[in-house]
Amino acid sequence: MKSARIRLFCTLEELSDWLTLLCNKHGLGCIRFCGEDFGIITPPSELRLDDRTYACFLYPSCFPPPPRLAMNDVKQRMWGWIYVSRFASPLCDEKTMLFMSDIHGEDTEMVPASRYVRWLKAYLNRKSLIRAGVRGGIDLTLDWRMCSDIRYTEGARRLWEAGVPWKQYCDGTMYFGPAVLDHRVPVRSSGSESKERTDPSIK
């Protein structure tokens, strides 16, 4: 079966707007997981993610989820649901750290989930809402590599410029940032506080 994925750094407001658009366009519903025992079914018109939301799923409205659904009971691939994860953790403050978002859909015989994800990616590219060019490494000024499959948004860039570092996981050692950095940028590396460093790639 086909699958499609979008991995990117964006704000919760941007992600909420895109998921609402996707739901309205393709007749999808949404269930969010925010730390409670069971998921919260949320109408697209009320879909505003916050930093308590660590995962949500989009599903065909004609196949609603069973009542009192726990996260561990979700059968994403079997049901053809789109999985949206934030990789956030209650141990980390999203006001001082931006976490990667991951939108993933895999087709079933009944649900073309990958088509919905590809439609969203094409829309975001067409509207120039996401851009390529993310670098990742333990130290972004000395030891980094290009991450060709990860995108970022204008909102993420503004947070980066304000000194908010990007990470995939709360306790991960990898940091991320735009590939083209200002000559002096805030970089937070393992075991140190945020500080300015000169980017050697800028002549």
How would you write the pLDDT of the chain (203 residues) with one tens digit per residue?
899 999 999 999 999 999 999 999 999 999 999 877 899 999 999 999 887 888 899 999 998 998 899 999 999 999 999 999 985 555 566 568 899 999 999 999 999 999 999 999 999 999 999 999 999 998 777 778 899 999 999 999 999 999 999 998 877 788 999 987 544 444 444 444 443 333 333 32
Instruction: State both tokens at 52.
Output: 């308590």
The amino acid present at 13, given as its one-letter code, is E
Q: What is the pLDDT of residue 86?
A: 80
Three-state DSSP string of 69-127: CCHHHCCHHHHCCEEEECCCCCCCCCCCCEECEEEEEECCCCCCHHHHHHHHHHHHHHC
Instruction: Indicate the helix (H) or strand (E) that contains 158.
Output: helix 154-161
Phi, psi (degrees; rounded to nearest 5) at 54:
-100, -15
Q: What is the distance, to the nearest Å, from the Cα of residue 19 to the centroid of all Cα atoms in its chain?
A: 11
Looking up tokens 């704000």 gives 11
Write the DSSP symbol of residue 65.
Answer: P
